[in-house]
Amino acid sequence: MSIVLFIIALLILIILPNLAAQRKHATRVHEDAMVNVVQTQIDLYENNTGQSVNSYADLEGGDYLTAAQVAKAQKEKIVIQGGKAVKQ
């Protein structure tokens, strides 16, 4: 019985660090994807209207981003600078 518990404990010690690394990787991928979404909508807004984007209000008002997307982007500290989406 103690051998089985030792093997299970050993497997847990091997698996846990990998889970943490995978979570960090998934977070980075999500942040990059969110920047790409915002940048795509900025480009679309500028192509459709001929005007530059100054804030999220422009994108939300023109139905390019939803309120939930704007809130998520602001939570992730993505700002619009000079017509580009930038992660701070």
d(CA 78, CA 53): 14
- Entry pTM: 0.77
DSSP 51: S
Q: E-assigned strands of 1-88?
A: 78-81, 84-87
Question: What digits encode the pLDDT tens for the residues 24-60?
Answer: 999 999 999 999 999 999 999 999 999 999 899 999 9
Residue ranges of domains in the chain = 2-87
d(CA 28, CA 66): 22
CA-wise closest residue to 78 among 32, 35, 27: 35
